[in-house]
């Protein structure tokens, strides 16, 4: 993995398309610094911001906007000025932007959803995915309660990883572990994936690209390719499309400045 900028200061690793979701700017759990670190060496011709980039829920309860959060916004605007196409598909946490569909902010276009055409001509529905989450839609109070519990899990995870770093162990995600081990979570993820795949089929698309559940994965559901970007709260993942048309999930949990000659960089290829 490239670890530095070129001599003219531009990122070394470029992609055809970059998909980022669930950054949760404004929430204390947001790992915007790691995302900025990732973007130092990764760029793309087209960037999709797949919802929950700004956490309006968190900002309403407790204003939190450090410099790194502002830096990310500025970086996206700079990418537009340099010729990149940037699309913003709001989620439930940044639902205040849903009143601005079709509007451009500094060249960033806000859309309800969009069809992305891959290099091979296949069509992918790009959508955050919360509208297919029955908890968010039908029990909003429960969704907010779950959001608070998730914040507590994030705080616990930070403490666990502080001790792991002290003893030389790599980063470990409590919520990601739970999502893979707890039966109800596994069932929920499976149902979410099947529902989104069904929505893609309804649109006549070959696949769907989404966020919302903070669980990055690429897999097929009855011939429909389901791809979830993950998040930048715990897993620190992004979905990329290479110039050869191949999709891949990249994980960036170790800051660039702390990486050794062989960085901790996980990849899942389609």
Give me the domains of the chain, ranges plus CATH numbers.
13-269 (3.60.21.10)
User: Quick one: what percent of the chain has pLDDT higher than 90?
Assistant: 60
Q: Which residues contact 263 (CB under 8 A, 6 or more apart)?
A: 1, 3, 254, 256
Instruction: Determine the pLDDT at residue 2.
Output: 38
Mean pLDDT over 55-72 rounds to 94
Give the Cβ contact number of residue 155 at 10 Å. 12
Cα separations in angstroms, 17 against 49, 185, 199, 234, 248: 11, 30, 22, 22, 11
Q: Indicate the pTM of the whole model.
A: 0.79
Model confidence band, residue 255 (pLDDT cutoffs 50, 70, 90)? low
The distance from CA 114 to its chain's CA centroid, rounded to whole angstroms, is 16
Q: Which residues contact 203 (CB under 8 A, 6 or more apart)?
A: 115, 125
Least confident segment among 27-31, 38-42, 129-133, 152-156 = 152-156
Q: Which two tokens stand for residue 144?
A: 């907010």
Give the separation between CA 117 and CA 114, rounded to whole angstroms. Answer: 10
């Amino acid at each position: 993995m490239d670890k530095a900028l070129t001599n003219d200061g531009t990122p070394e690793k470029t992609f055809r398309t970059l998909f980022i979701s669930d950054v949760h700017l404004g929430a204390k759990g947001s790992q915007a610094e790691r995302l900025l670190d990732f973007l130092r060496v990764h760029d793309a011709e087209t960037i999709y911001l797949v919802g929950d980039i700004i956490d309006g829920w968190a900002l309403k309860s407790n204003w939190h906007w450090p410099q790194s959060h502002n830096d990310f916004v500025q970086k996206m605007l700079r990418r537009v000025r340099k010729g990149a196409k940037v699309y913003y598909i709001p989620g439930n946490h940044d639902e205040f932007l849903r009143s601005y569909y079709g509007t451009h902010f500094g060249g960033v276009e806000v859309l309800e959803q969009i069809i992305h055409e891959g290099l091979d001509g296949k069509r992918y529905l790009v959508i955050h995915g919360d509208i297919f989450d029955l908890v968010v839609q039908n029990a909003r109070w429960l969704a907010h309660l779950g959001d608070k519990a998730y914040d507590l899990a994030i705080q616990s995870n930070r403490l666990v990883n502080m001790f792991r770093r002290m003893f030389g162990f790599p980063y470990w995600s409590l919520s990601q572990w739970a999502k893979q081990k707890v039966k109800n979570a596994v069932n929920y993820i499976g149902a979410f994936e099947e529902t989104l795949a069904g929505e893609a089929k309804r649109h006549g698309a070959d696949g769907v690209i989404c966020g919302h559940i903070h669980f990055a994965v690429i897999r097929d559901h009855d011939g429909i390719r389901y791809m979830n970007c993950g998040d930048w709260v715990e897993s620190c993942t992004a979905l990329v499309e290479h110039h050869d048309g191949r999709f891949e999930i990249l994980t960036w949990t170790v800051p660039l400045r702390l990486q050794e000659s062989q960085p901790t960089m996980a990849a899942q290829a389609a």
